[in-house]
Structure 1
């Protein structure tokens, strides 16, 4: 099952499965020894790295799930625990899925996960989210009731944002929270975003590098802020705690969308005069890449 071809939506018509909801069987029995070895390499180096960097809720979720180093998790076993905890389940998909399919799954407490795993030469960067990103990065946080409810609300909100024409504004909220979010825990910053938690290099960069900005999360500000899909983030946004995400679900986003769409768009590395800044980055990482 270890392949470097495009998957799901990125593969065009050949990547579209028969089922209209884009779900497929995980095909756990078809993973090869090399697939499981890749998982083991990723799992072991990441679990050694995350203590002191990942938030407590991530660590607790990982502890309570049937996830280990020796083999790619079987979604059926994960779902037994998730369903009992909070009514969520993982559904296998071939890769990226259309927006409306993604939102529909989330709105019904189904988390779509790619069933493929990256190749050994792709350990540090992969264009498409694979089973390691989706399961290792996302699923431990789904064990937390605040994240579980927030992601369901995001799915419901995504369907509405599509109808209103404000999907880019909402996508930025997801990117800077569920994928690349930081939070305050005690007197330190900790990561909770799946894109960071599943990345060997970015899980260190986001907290320890002098390059990126670390800015207090403000909803409308984030809606106006572009993000990087090709490299480390230039700015990370920090929430107070996971319960703050639940507070967002009580807000009518439509007026925020309208103001954000009409206001100034911000670049990923911008620091604004009214930002509450935990650490102003020196931009050295991205500057060096532009020079070279």
Structure 2
């Protein structure tokens, strides 16, 4: 893995690419920036986030500053057996899969600068913690992430990394869930962005499609813009059950095939209507 193009400090990594968080090293300015980021997002959560995510966020009690990963891990481990491990940034695929398969979730240690308040190229601790960690308190979603991690070595062996990565992108970073209150968000990439939190549920320029494993694995995605397509689960059990399937036939069939363009709508898709905005659209 080429660290020269990555932002984090990889000079003191341990063999599993983890590092010491050094929580005492965060500055007052960084804690203040965290509080600003938190305040911007928390008001959107009751009307936009999945209940399981919101409940997990409240349990973590992370409003006052950059969270201590060890203390948060102690809470999570009692709920689902997951612990958080500090990493300098992005890690190799095989390392990432191994952490998930062993109920360890990698969290980046650095925080964005004030100039990056609205847009960030690489995930930072706010994205990783605020976006991902609350849902690790949900037993079913935690089981899914472990099962996903166990699929990694097989994907590497059979050339299926792109297919498996699309499953993570759409169903972990940008997933929606259908509830008795309408569509709600659980994807970390959405929930760490004020603009996309509103956009993902309400904007008619994007499409919301019912979850289908092969459809997800065959669909391209947007890296530097809001998504053109979001996939919707009815319940988190759908994701765990999908991981009980044998992915190898899917890899053999689609690994080398051109993916569907990110704005594709198929005749077989189950479509969901956009929600009515509950707040003014954010920029």
TM-score under structure 2 length normalisation: 0.92
Conserved? CA contact 2:7–2:89, under 8 Å: no
Conserved? CA contact 1:9–1:97, under 8 Å: no
> Which of 108, 111, 116 is the aligned partner of 1:114?
108
Equivalent residue of 2:255, what SS?
A: helix
- Paired residue for 1:179? 173
- Paired residue for 1:39? 34
- Paired residue for 1:166? 160
Instruction: Point out where structure 1 has 5 or more consecutive residues left out of the alignment.
Output: 1-6, 281-292
> Does structure 1 residue 73 correspond to structure 2 residue 75?
no
- Paired residue for 2:280? none
For residues 129 and 47 of structure 1, the distance between their equivalents in structure 2, rounded to whole angstroms, comes to 19
Equivalent residue of 1:45, what SS?
A: helix
Deviation at 1:8, TM superposition (A): 5.7
Conserved? CA contact 2:158–2:252, under 8 Å: no
Conserved? CA contact 2:84–2:106, under 8 Å: yes
> Does structure 1 residue 104 correspond to structure 2 residue 102?
no
Correspondence 1:55-66 to 2 at 5 A: 55-65=50-60
Name the count of aligned residue pairs. Answer: 273
Conserved? CA contact 2:89–2:123, under 8 Å: yes
CA distance 1:32–1:262, shift in 2 (3 Å): closer
Equivalent residue of 1:15, what SS?
A: coil
Deviation at 1:237, TM superposition (A): 0.5
TM-score under structure 1 length normalisation: 0.89
CA distance 1:8–1:264, shift in 2 (3 Å): closer
> Which of 36, 45, 51 is the aligned partner of 2:46?
51
For residues 12 and 243 of structure 1, the distance between their equivalents in structure 2, rounded to whole angstroms, comes to 36
For residues 60 and 187 of structure 1, the distance between their equivalents in structure 2, rounded to whole angstroms, comes to 16
Equivalent residue of 2:107, what SS?
A: strand
CA distance 1:39–1:8, shift in 2 (3 Å): farther
Deviation at 1:20, TM superposition (A): 1.4
For residues 50 and 9 of structure 2, the distance between their equivalents in structure 1, rounded to whole angstroms, comes to 39
- Paired residue for 1:21? 16
- Paired residue for 1:196? 190
Conserved? CA contact 1:223–1:257, under 8 Å: no
Deviation at 1:94, TM superposition (A): 0.5
CA distance 1:121–1:151, shift in 2 (3 Å): same
For residues 241 and 44 of structure 2, the distance between their equivalents in structure 1, rounded to whole angstroms, comes to 31
For residues 5 and 91 of structure 2, the distance between their equivalents in structure 1, rounded to whole angstroms, comes to 8
